[in-house]
Every structure is written in C-alpha cells, then in structure tokens.
Structure 1
C-alpha cells in the first residue's frame, strides 16, 4: 500500500480518534473545570489562535516547493529554500512574541467587562504559556510539511495518533489530581515540543534533509510569499470564521455563553474534519491535472469521484446528528448545552457542499489561481462576522451564528461561479451526479430516524446507541443499493469477500 493511501487511512484514524477523544473528554473536562473556567479556557485559546495565522501559509508552501524541487531533482535549490523558510520562520516567531507582549498588557481593557479579577489573572497566565507554545509550534510545523513534500505521510500522522492517545491519558490524570485550565495549557505545550522533536528527528535522520542557506535570493523570497500569502488569507478566514464568535461573545456576554457556543462550533467543525482526510492529500493529483491541461469536464468528473466518498461519510454523520443530536448533547454534557445542537446542525448543513467540492480549491492552488478565492473567503467571512457582532448584541450566540451562516452561504454561491469561470466547472452536472440520489437517501433515512425516535423515547445511552446503529446500518445498505454504480458495488464485494 502506498504512502498516500496509508496516509489517508491514518488521517481517518486520527479524525475518528480525535472526535471520540473530544466527545469523551469534553464532559469530563467541563465537570472538573466548571462551565465558567471551561469557557475561559476556550476563550483564551480562541484569542491566541488569531496570532497563529502569522504562519503566513508557509507550511503549504513548503509542501508545494519541496515536491517541486524533488521532481526537478534540484537538491541545492531545495536546501536553500528550506534554509530561507526557516530564517523567515525565525522572524515570524519574533513577531509572534512582539504581538503577544503587546496584547498581554491590554488584556485588562479587552476583557474588563466580561471577566472577573480572578478569571483575568488566570487568563494572563494561560496567554503567556500559549504565546510561547505558538512561537515554537509555527516553525516546528515545517518538519511535518517536509514529510508531506517527500510524500512520507505515515510517520507524522502516526506521531499525531500517539499524541492524542497520550494527551488524553494525561488530561484525565491531571484533572483527577486537581489540575486546572492552566495545567491543560502547560500539558499541550509539552506535547507540542515532543511532537516537533520526533518529526525533526525523522526529517534529519530518515529523509536526510538538510537546511543550507547558500545565498539570499530575493526572487525566491518573493516567489514564496506570492504563493503563501493567499494560503495565509485562507488561514485567516478559517481562524476568524470559527474563533471570532467565541471572542465576540466573550466581550458582549459571559463565559458560560462562550462555552455553549464553543461546544456547538466544536461539533460543527468535527464534521468538516471527516472531509479533510481526503482533501488534504489530493494536491499532487490536482497539480498533475493542471500540468496536463485537463479539461473542465475531466476536473468535474474528478471532483465527483473525490466528493462521493466524502459525501457518504458526511451524510451518515449529518442524518444521525440531526435526528439524535439533542439527546446526545443532553447525555454528553447536560441540559445546559442544549442550544449547541442547533449551532452544530446549521454549520453541518451549510458546510456539506463546500466540503464535497474541496478538490476545486486544490485545482486553484495548483494553478496558482487561489488569490481570487482567498479574497472572496475574506470578504464573506468579514461580512458574516460583522453581521454576527451586531446581532449578538441583541440575541446573543444565535445572532453570532446567523452572521457566520450568512457569510458561508454567500461564499458557497459565489465559489461555484468562480469555479465555472476559471476551469469551466460543470456545476449542474456535479450536483446531478452527486446529490440527486443522495437527497432520496436522506429522505428515507429521515423517515426511519423519526420512527426510531418515536419507538425509543427514553433518553438513555443504550437507546441512543440502538438508534444510531439501526439508522447507520440502513443508511449504508441504501447507499450500497442506490448510490453506488455497478462497478463500485463489485469493488465493495471484492474488498469484503476476497
């Protein structure tokens, strides 16, 4: 099995593990920390997250350029490029520390109306630790990017899996013995240092990569930033889109509201993670199609091919959570967080189409036409956050949600127009091939799910798992009969009964 396939499988293992660990640990963390401190923990994490976008998209740039130099067998250019990027990372870390110091001395004024004095003091401690964490994590992430550029996906993903398992055990032990939010931040910092150390060892010893700064090439620096700046804009959009609501609500409401909103956002973004396992490894394929000047029809067919497994996984999650999610949240973290269900469902619904079209972004990235899409994302995100800010003042977290959803919807519409313009995307064909039968599957699953809710009315974990199991089995069977074509059904039989 190739590194690509193994990497994709390990990505799914990581996603499933991350989601399970998150779902299991979150109620435990909330119970041990309390609603207010958990809200503070997520608030400061979101606040510091804004500074993390100072990566400027260099990780993606490293993957692209390392792969390019390897294809050209230009070792000297690769070494000089890596030496240049590490120099840039060193400057970025200093900038992060500078902004960290600047913000630290303004935390009192920023959160004076929403945090108590005790919460503010604890927030300052967490902020300092997280800034240090960020200053080392940004350049440290380059080693995982180098592995991807060398198409060695297995080791860094295996390390991540080990980190999730070990961190989970440490979190339980830490909180059982009286640890608090500050302790969790320290633990995460230690884990990041460990992961960076392992990845760097692999890069230097296994891949024999060298960082050499032969000469200052302003042309190279310009080329790096002309590509990475738009990846940076994408990162800014993602960061603000999901974290802005927590910070805004932290300013205009209270930490408990932030905690409820954070749970909804967490569940919604878990949904997106199921698509990332495939979307994160298709850039080489997109690059080949661009180099070979493939037609819009060929690209659309590839988008359908890649989008199909993504849609099937997302559909299974969406239908189960839509029908049984309220009861799950009640059993999971309690009635206080019941409003998180609506937040998560709405995010899942609006993210489904963009997630199945992720290969389109890879095409734009490979063809260096990502600028327009990045600007579109930035504008629609700003629109959503601005509308959400004003609505949040009157109707709280739902107002923030409506603003974000508006931005997502406008972005989805214009993105499809953008794809049509740049690579002749066959938009009607895409939706017909991918969604026509899928809507029928969802309707059948919805009817069955409503029946299961009527039969199993008690709110218990046993009834919850019974309903999820019965609906999931039915969903998979209907997908096999209705959604898969003859060739795909043959492949399924071959894999199951070989």
Structure 2
C-alpha cells in the first residue's frame, strides 16, 4: 500500500481516535473542572487560537514548494528555501510572543464584564503558558509539513495518534489527582515539545533533509509570501469563523454559554476534521496534476471519486447525528448542553459540501488561485461576526451561530460558481454523481427512521448503542447495494479479502 493510501487510512484512524477519546474524555473534564472553569478553558483556548495562525500559511507553502523542488530534483533550491522559511518562522515566533504579551496585559479590560477576579487570574496564567506553546509550535510544525512534502505521511500521523492517547491518559490521571484547567494547558505544552523533537529527528536522520539557517535566499521571500499570504488569510478566516462566537459570547454573556457553544463547535469540528486529514495528503497529488497539465474534466473526475468515498462515511455521521445526536448529548453531558446538539448539527450540514470538495481546494492552492476564496471568506465571516456581536446579548447562542451558518452557505454557493468559471470544473456533474443520489436516499431513510424513533424514548446508553448498531447495519446495506458502483464495491470486497 502506498504512503498516500496509508496516510489517508491512518488519518481516518486518527480522526476516529480523536473523536472517540474526545467524546469519552470531555464529560470527565467538564465534571472535574465544573461548567464555569471548563468555559474559561474553552474561552482562553479560543483567544490563543488566533495567535497560532501567525505561521502565515507557511506550512502549506512548504508542502507546495518542496514538492515542486523534488519534482525537478533541485536539491540546492530546496535547501535555500527551507533555510529561508525557518528564519521567517523564528521571526514570527518572536512576534507572537510580543503580541501575546500585549494581549496578556489587556485581558482584564477585555473580559472585565464577564469574568470574575478569580477567573481572570487563572485566565492570565493559562494565557502565558499557551503563548509559549504557540511560539515553539510555529517553527516546530514545519517538520510535519516537510514529511508531507516528501510524501512520508505515515510517521507524523502515527506520532499524532500516540501523542493523543498518552495525553488522554495523563489528563485523566492528573484531573483525578485534583488538577484544573491550568494543568491541561501544561500537559498540552509538554506533549507539543516532545512531538516537535521526535518529528525533527525523523526529518533530519530518516529523510536526510538539511535545514541550515546559513542557507537562505532573500529573493525567495516575496515568492513565499505571495503564495502563503492567501493561505494565511484563509486560515484566519477559518479560525475566526469557528472561534469568534466563543469570544463574543465570552464578552457579552457568561462562561456557561461559552461552554455550551464550545461543545457544539467541538462536535462540529470533529466532523470538519475530515477536510484537514484528506487535504494534507492530497496537496502534493494536486500539485503534480496541475504541473502535468490536467484539465477541468479530469480534475472533476478525480474530485468525484474522492467525494463519493468520503461521502459514504460523512453522510453516515451526519444522518446518525441527526437521528441520535440529541439523545447522545443528553446522556453525555446532561440537559444543560442540549443546545450543543443543534449548533453541531448546523455546522455539519453547512460543512458537508466543502468537505466533499476538498480536492477542489487543493487544486485552488496548487494553482495559486486562493486569493479570491480568502477575500470572499474574510468579507462574509466579518459580516457574520459583526451581526453576532450585536444580537448575542438578546439571542445568546443562536445569535452567534445563525449568521455564521448563513454566510458559510453563501460562501459555498459562490465558490462553486468560481470553480466552474476558473477551473472549468463540471459542477453539475459533480453534484449529480457525488451527492444527489446519496442525499435523496439517505434523506428518505433518515426521515422515516426519525418518525419511528419518535414513537419511543431512548433513555440509557445500552439502548442508544443498540439502535445505533442497528442503524449502522441498515446504512451499510443501503450504501453497498443501492449507492456504490461496481469499482467501489470491488474496492471494499478486495480490502475484506
């Protein structure tokens, strides 16, 4: 099995573990910290998340440029490029510390109306630790980008799985011993350092990559930022899109509201993780297709193949969450968090089409045509955040999520028109072959089952697991016999054999 296929498979395993462990761990964390401190932990994490974007999109740039240098066997050019980007990373890390310290000294004025004195003290300690975490992660994350560019997808993903499992075990142990939110951020920082060291060792001693600060080329800087700036801008939009609501609720409401909204964003984020998992391994492939001169029809066919296989899994998650998500959230965290189900469901719905078109986004980056998407997204998300800021005082959580859902839907519509015009993607063909039949079949089945489920109440975990298992069997049978084509069936059967 190739590194690409292994990388996708392990990425899915990573997502599955992240989801399962996260779902098991979250109620324990909430009960150990309490709703207020968990909301504080979520709030500070959301604020610091913006600083993590200061890598300026350079990791995507590394994947694209190193893949290009390897395609033409330009070893010297690769060394100069990596030396230049590492110097840029170090400068950015210093800038992150300076900006972080400025925010640190202004935290009291930002959250004075919503946080107590005790909460502000804890917030400032967590913020300092997380600033350090982000500052070391910005240059450190470049090593995983190098692995991806070399199409060595397996090692960094295995490391991520091991890290996540060890982190979960340590979180459980330290919270059992009385640890609080500050403990969690310290654990994350320690594991972050360890992963950077292990991945760097792999890059230098296994891949034999040379990164020398003495090998830099200032003429590359404008080319690097000419590409990375638009990736960076879109990353800002994406992060702002999902974290702005928590910050706005933290300013206008209270930590409990932030906690409820944060759980919904987390559940929606698990669903959205499929884009990152597949995106990371498809960028080199997309770059190669672009440089080999593939046109709109061939690119569309590739996108359809990827979307169909991803869609079978994603529609299962989406329809399952529609049917059983509310009951799950009630049993998982209690009635206080029931609104998290609707928030997560709305996020999943509006993310489905972009996730299925993830290959289109890879082509967008490979052709350096991501400027339009970045500008469009930042305009729409800014409008959504502005509306949310003024209506969350009256409408709370729904004032934060509804403007966001509307603007993301509008973004999806405009981007499909853009794909058709610029890349000559056959969008009608894509929706017909990749989405429509599955949407109709799964929609009818889900509505019929929703009616049957309304006739009785699921009140225990055992009942929930049994009905989910029964639904999984029904879903698999429908998918295999009604929706999969001959080649997809053969692929599944060959894997089973």
- TM-score (ref. length: structure 2): 0.97
Match for residue 412 of structure 1? Answer: 412
* 1:216 CA displacement: 5.0
Equivalents in 2 of 1:109, 1:279: separation in Å? Answer: 39
Equivalents in 1 of 2:22, 2:145: separation in Å? Answer: 25
Q: Aligned pair count?
A: 497
Equivalents in 2 of 1:455, 1:349: separation in Å? Answer: 25
CA displacement 1:357-392 (0-9 Å, x = unmatched): 111111111111111111111111112211222221
Structure 2 vs 1, CA of residues 101 and 443 (structure 1 numbering), >3 Å: closer, same or farther? closer
Equivalents in 1 of 2:84, 2:492: separation in Å? Answer: 47
CA displacement 1:405-454 (0-9 Å, x = unmatched): 12101101110111111111211111111222112321342145225524
* 1:403 CA displacement: 1.3
Match for residue 288 of structure 2? Answer: 288
Match for residue 436 of structure 1? Answer: 436
Match for residue 182 of structure 2? Answer: 182
Match for residue 333 of structure 1? Answer: 333
Q: How does 1:312-351 map to 2 (within 5 A)?
A: 312-351=312-351
Match for residue 106 of structure 2? Answer: 106
Match for residue 476 of structure 1? Answer: 476
Q: How does 1:207-356 map to 2 (within 5 A)?
A: 207-214=207-214, 216-356=216-356
Instruction: Answer with 237-246 or 456-465: which moved more.
Output: 456-465
SS of structure 2 residue aligned to 1:294? coil
SS of structure 1 residue aligned to 2:494? helix
* 1:241 CA displacement: 0.5
Q: Return 5+ residue gaps in structure 2 as ranges.
A: none
Instruction: Answer with 386-395 or 198-207: which moved more.
Output: 386-395
8 Å Cα contact 2:163-2:195 kept in structure 1: yes
Match for residue 423 of structure 2? Answer: 423
Instruction: Answer with 386-395 or 304-313: which moved more.
Output: 386-395
CA displacement 1:454-490 (0-9 Å, x = unmatched): 4652311011111111111111111111111123223
Match for residue 132 of structure 1? Answer: 132
8 Å Cα contact 1:319-1:445 kept in structure 2: no
Match for residue 95 of structure 1? Answer: 95
* 1:18 CA displacement: 0.4
Equivalents in 1 of 2:487, 2:104: separation in Å? Answer: 59
Q: How does 1:115-126 map to 2 (within 5 A)?
A: 115-126=115-126
8 Å Cα contact 1:441-1:479 kept in structure 2: no
Equivalents in 2 of 1:292, 1:81: separation in Å? Answer: 23
* 1:99 CA displacement: 0.4
SS of structure 1 residue aligned to 2:281? coil
Match for residue 463 of structure 1? Answer: 463
Structure 2 vs 1, CA of residues 146 and 71 (structure 1 numbering), >3 Å: closer, same or farther? same
Equivalents in 2 of 1:95, 1:412: separation in Å? Answer: 34
Equivalents in 2 of 1:275, 1:52: separation in Å? Answer: 19
Equivalents in 2 of 1:154, 1:124: separation in Å? Answer: 37
Match for residue 83 of structure 1? Answer: 83
* 1:272 CA displacement: 1.1
Instruction: Answer with 207-216 or 36-45: which moved more.
Output: 207-216
Equivalents in 2 of 1:170, 1:125: separation in Å? Answer: 20
Equivalents in 1 of 2:282, 2:428: separation in Å? Answer: 23
8 Å Cα contact 1:441-1:475 kept in structure 2: no
Structure 2 vs 1, CA of residues 490 and 75 (structure 1 numbering), >3 Å: closer, same or farther? closer
Equivalents in 2 of 1:315, 1:367: separation in Å? Answer: 30
* 1:197 CA displacement: 0.7
Match for residue 47 of structure 1? Answer: 47
8 Å Cα contact 1:143-1:200 kept in structure 2: yes
SS of structure 2 residue aligned to 1:282? helix
Equivalents in 1 of 2:402, 2:349: separation in Å? Answer: 13
Equivalents in 1 of 2:176, 2:131: separation in Å? Answer: 26
CA displacement 1:327-363 (0-9 Å, x = unmatched): 1001111111000011011111111111111111111
Match for residue 371 of structure 2? Answer: 371
8 Å Cα contact 1:63-1:146 kept in structure 2: yes
Equivalents in 1 of 2:82, 2:256: separation in Å? Answer: 45
1:152 paired to 2:166: no
- TM-score (ref. length: structure 1): 0.97
1:20 paired to 2:20: yes
Instruction: Answer with 296-305 or 30-39: which moved more.
Output: 296-305
Equivalents in 1 of 2:216, 2:190: separation in Å? Answer: 34
Q: How does 1:487-498 map to 2 (within 5 A)?
A: 487-496=487-496, 498=497
Equivalents in 1 of 2:351, 2:57: separation in Å? Answer: 22
SS of structure 1 residue aligned to 2:219? helix
Equivalents in 1 of 2:221, 2:403: separation in Å? Answer: 37
Equivalents in 2 of 1:493, 1:49: separation in Å? Answer: 42
